[in-house]
Amino acid sequence: MDMIGQGVISAYQLLASADSEIFEVALLTLKVSLSATAISVLFGVPFGLWLAFRDFGSKHIFSSLVNFGMGLPPVVVGLVVSLLLWRYGPLGGLGLMYTPAAMVIAQAVIAMPIVAGLTFAAILSITPKFRWQLLSLGATPLQACWLLVKEARLGLMAAVIAGFGRVVSEVGASMMVGGNIKGQTRVLTTATVMEVGKGNYDMAMAISFILLVAAYSIVVLLTYLQHGGKSVR
């Protein structure tokens, strides 16, 4: 128990002493995870909408695949992305291995099924009659789609929050494709693993607290947006 209290104290000391290294690590963590979330939203939301609106025979196969993808193990994603990005891999010419860009790619792949799956579920939770009603009242399919998105806003923001939460807490893929390189690809999760390896449990605890605080501030912001700028009802 002592260790936890000590962790809070050293976390505070680290932040108070303006240790630029820990700020850099925290900043990179947010940059990488927010970029990955943005990319996953860019692809995942349209895919979820497409899945929800289209009626075709093999729809249940797609939706089960998306649901399965929501639990995609980060280490598997990390392994596959490294095999692709290695110097002598198919995409080796890009020189992306062990860079923050590689971490963004891996994290975006991890978050995308979550965003797509929860978008799909959010739209389905609205009665299909609503869409038919909109269409019969003369809305174009695009307008109907937009109104449905607005209606499902809470669920869609939940998808974004879940996607962000997954990637910011992820360590396996970031370690594999980033390499935990000091000053380049070290993020809060991989730094925690390394400090544990070094036996610096108080430092590891301190970094964990900084991770929790950073992640929570982003989620507070997203939750505020989720409720349309009003306080939570």
Partner 1 sequence: MRKLCSLVLMLMLIVFSGCAMSTSQQGKTNPPAPANKDIILATTTSTQDSGLLDVLLPVFESKTGYKIKTIAVGTGQALAMGEKGEADILLVHAPDAEKKVVAAGSAVNRKLVMHNDFILVGPPNDAALIKGKNVTEALTALAKIQASFISRGDDSGTHKMEKSLWKRINITPASPWYKEAGAGMGQTLKIADEKQAYTLSDRATYLAQKKNLSLEVLVEGDAKLLNIYHVMEVNPAKFSKANNAGAKAFIDFLLSAEGQSLISTFGKDKFGQPLFFADGGKTEKDIGL
Which residues lie near partner 1 (CB under 8 A)? Answer: 30-32, 34-35, 37-39, 41, 86-88, 92, 97-98, 100, 149-150, 153, 156-157, 160, 179-182, 184, 194, 196-199, 201, 222, 225, 228-229
Give the residue with the Cβ less far from partner 1, 42 or 135.
Answer: 42
Calpha distance 144→138 (Å, rounded)? 9
Give the residue with the Cβ less far from partner 1, 46 or 71.
Answer: 46
DSSP code, position 93:
G
Calpha distance 166→33 (Å, rounded)? 9
Give the residue with the Cβ less far from partner 1, 92 or 128.
Answer: 92
Calpha distance 73→212 (Å, rounded)? 22
C-alpha of 133 from chain center: 35
Q: How far is the CB of 147 from partner 1 (least distance, A)?
A: 10
Residue with tokens 């995609």: 72
Give the residue with the Cβ less far from partner 1, 37 or 63.
Answer: 37
Give the residue with the Cβ less far from partner 1, 39 or 114.
Answer: 39
C-alpha of 180 from chain center: 19
Calpha distance 106→111 (Å, rounded)? 9
Q: Contact at 8 Å (CB) between 179 and 195?
A: no
Which tokens go with 233? 């009802």
Residue with tokens 């610096």: 200
Q: How far is the CB of 65 from partner 1 (least distance, A)?
A: 26
Calpha distance 32→171 (Å, rounded)? 12
Give the residue with the Cβ less far from partner 1, 158 or 160.
Answer: 160
Give the residue with the Cβ less far from partner 1, 11 or 102.
Answer: 102
Q: How far is the CB of 200 from partner 1 (least distance, A)?
A: 9
Taking CA atoms, 146 is separated from 9, 46, 200, in Å, by 48, 11, 51
Q: How far is the CB of 77 from partner 1 (least distance, A)?
A: 18
Q: Contact at 8 Å (CB) between 107 and 32?
A: yes
